[in-house]
Structure 1
Amino acid sequence: MHILLTGGTGLIGSALTARLLSLGHSLTVLTRNPDAARRRLGGEVALLPALDDVSTLDGFDAVINLAGEPIADKRWTDAQKARLCHSRWQITQRLAELITRSATPPAVFISGSAVGYYGDQGEAVVSEEETPHDEFTHRLCARWEALAREAASERTRVCLLRTGVVLSADGGALAKMMPIFRLGLGGTLGSGRQYVPWIHLDDMVNAILYLLATPGLSGPFNMTAPYPVHNEQFTSALGEALNRPTLLRTPAFAIRLLMGESSVLVLGGQRAIPKRLEEAGFGFRYFELEEALRDVVSVSRRSSA
């Protein structure tokens, strides 16, 4: 396949790039910084500086859209909310336009989303059919998905990745948490009863490849492991994996003071399950959080040795 990838230098994109190349696919990565992308991704990928440089996507067999401003890196001011939305909406809209304009469009458009689509769901089990709560994360993801769906046709199927917390030592939330936990300063956030929908990076990449290679699949997919856990369980498991105590607890009011509205990302949660992926026959490598964390920690130790 000849694949166009956005967000190729991010956590998921970098790992996906390596797998796609190992499988013999031809890859073009959209990037605003070709020099940095070349250093990170190597010389086997073609680089596209801007979508304005193409008028159609004829010649591409698939498009995978992972681009977007990190959602948890900054406090949610009005300006930051606008950046979070526009960094996702604009590129997705442009890709959909190019696909629909193509004489021979890509057969599949795989586009990012997040479990934030559902809002804070408390204890409810969340499959892809769950009714969402009207919160900022839902509005962001709902528009993001709607723009991607505009590319759907008899010739192009659209898959939407409602992604949970991706576990890796190379980036994302866990990479930020591990140094704190290694110092023995990690602990439960708020009540600790909020659910953490997690997925190992290897399963995330494998699931994208499965969607890419399975022609009958389209629509939203929860990209989460089958067994989400409470925050207090996640905290305890990470402490055990690192052989560190997790006795501290950060109260909810302190988190709200620090993070403002974005505190919902850690004080809320979704008990999201990958119903449609499992029904489609996808097999997870990491079902249990403890095994996934042990693997991530061991990789981290080998890379720092």
Structure 2
Amino acid sequence: MRIVMAGASGLIGTSMSASFRDAGHHVVTLVRRDAASADEVRWDPAAGRLDPQALAGADAVVNLSGAGIGDRPWTRKRVDELFSSRLGPTRTLARAMRQLDSPPATFISQSGAGYYGDAGNTVLREGAPNGSGTLARICKEWEEAAHEVPDGVRVVAPRTGVVLSRKGGALGRLLPLIRLGVGGPLGNGRQYWPWVTLPDVAAAFLFLLDSQVSGPVNLCAPEEADVNALVAAMAQALHRPAALRVPAPVLRLVMGGLAEELLLASQRMEPAVLLEAGFGWRHPALEQAAQWVAGKDQDARGVSFQEGSR
């Protein structure tokens, strides 16, 4: 399969492009600098410039474009950048596909768990309504932009949860503190974080490429966990205490809206579509994920998880 990828240089994109190639697919990456090889194509998504021929002959387009949600404080300028860095590239890709007589059959365009806003303890399947807040608006407009592709293109919008990685990612700042024994839960810790390991993100995209699934897909592990459980599992795997809780008022004071929406919001997400389609997680349980993050896991690639096994 020939796959064109946007946003392949980040944490998720680097892992995913390697997984695609390992699976035997031909990956072409879109870059904003001069192309360094035949497998790179230069584009300028901010200006809406992409030669449609870059997508000609591709079987699928994978879009991971977007500035990091938690990388910087949420000033008005930064929030504008969070929108534009997602909507601009997505619309540029959709416009290029509309200019082809035979566009790629599949468009997988990233979205996020933030689509649901702060939903408390409500179980969120893919049909749950759009929430409120900045992240919910970003995800809604991001998904709408993906549907600007021509009729007949299969559009998949993975609403990806908190990605667990051995370095970087959502736990990039918390893990070093836990390793030192000075980390702990954020807020009261009862907010649900829909988590998934980095290898399972890549595996899920591979699965979605070969499936007939379309529309929104909750991309998270089947075992739900609140922040208390998540931090405790990481601390146990690293053999460290995790008792130094950071109160919500402190997070709000230091981080403002970023803390409210990214750290304190609760999304009790269920991967109903992936479960129904028969996807097999490598790390379906939190204990397995924590052992993998700590570098102590036994390879459990392709473990299946059925609804009744919870």
Q: Give the TM-score normalised by the residue count of structure 1.
A: 0.91
Partner of residue 220, structure 1 = 216
Which SS does the other structure have where 2:9 is aligned? coil
Separation in 2, partners of 1:87, 1:138: 16
Q: d(CA) in 2 for partners of 1:259 and 1:270?
A: 20
1:26 corresponds in structure 2 to 26
Q: 1:33 to 1:185 in 2, by over 3 A?
A: farther
User: 1:79 Cα shift?
Assistant: 0.5
Describe the superposition over 1:58-83 as per-residue Cα deviations: whole angstroms up to 9, x where unpaired.
Answer: 22111000010000111111100000
Taking the aligned partners of 1:291 and 1:46, their CA distance within structure 2 comes to: 35
Partner residue in 2 for 1:244: 240
Structure 1 distance, partners of 2:234, 2:22, is 31
Task: Give the 3 Å change call, closer, same or farther, for CA 164–34 of structure 1 in structure 2.
Answer: farther
* Map of 1:50 onto structure 2: 43
Work out whether residues 118 and 270 of structure 1, in 8 Å CA contact, stay in contact via their aligned partners in 2. yes
SS for the counterpart of 1:129 is: coil
Q: Distance in 1 between matches of 2:168 and 2:32?
A: 20
Question: Secondary structure at 1:161's aligned position in 2?
Answer: strand
SS of 1:208's partner is: helix
Is it true that 1:68 corresponds to 2:61 in the alignment? no
Is it true that 1:272 corresponds to 2:269 in the alignment? Answer: yes
Give the superposition deviation at 1:255: 0.1
Instruction: Give the aligned partner of residue 235 of structure 1.
Output: 231
In the other structure, the counterpart of 2:147 is 149
Query: SS of the counterpart of 2:173?
Result: helix
**Does the Cα contact within 8 Å between 2:130 and 2:140 map onto a contact in 1?**
no
Q: Deviations over 1:106-128 (max 9, x none)?
A: 01000010000000110111111
Q: Distance in 2 between matches of 1:88 and 1:295?
A: 30
Contact kept? 1:58, 1:105, Cα under 8 Å: yes
Cα distance in 2, alignment partners of residues 89 and 261 from structure 1 = 21
Look up the SS of the partner of 2:94 in the other structure.
helix
Structure 2 residue corresponding to 1:100, chosen from 93, 98, 101: 98
Structure 1, residues 170-208: CA drift from partner, whole Å, max 9, x if none?
320123221111111101111110001100111111110
Aligned length: 291
Aligned-pair identity (%): 41
Comparing 291-300 with 117-126, greater Cα deviation is found at 291-300
Q: What is the rounded CA distance, in whole Å, between the counterparts of 1:296 and 1:233 in structure 2?
A: 15
Matching residue of 1:303 = none
Summarize the alignment of residues 1-305 of structure 1 with structure 2, pairs less than 5 Å apart.
1-33=1-33, 46-50=39-43, 52-56=49-53, 57-154=55-152, 156-214=153-211, 216-264=212-260, 265-298=262-295
Aligned residues of 1:199 and 1:225 also touching (Cα < 8 A): yes
Give me the whole-angstrom Cα distance separating, in 2, the residues matched to 1:283 and 1:26. 24
Quote the residue 2:306 is aligned against.
none
What's the CA shift string for 1:92-142, capped at 9, x where partnerless?
A: 001011112211100100001000000011011111111222211111000
Higher helix share: 1
Q: CA deviation at 1:152?
A: 5.0
Gaps of 5+ in 2: 298-310
Question: What is the TM-score when the length of structure 2 is the normalising length?
Answer: 0.90
Asked if the contact 1:28–1:46 (Cα under 8 Å) also holds between the matched residues in 2, the reply is yes
Return the offset for 1:249. Answer: 0.9
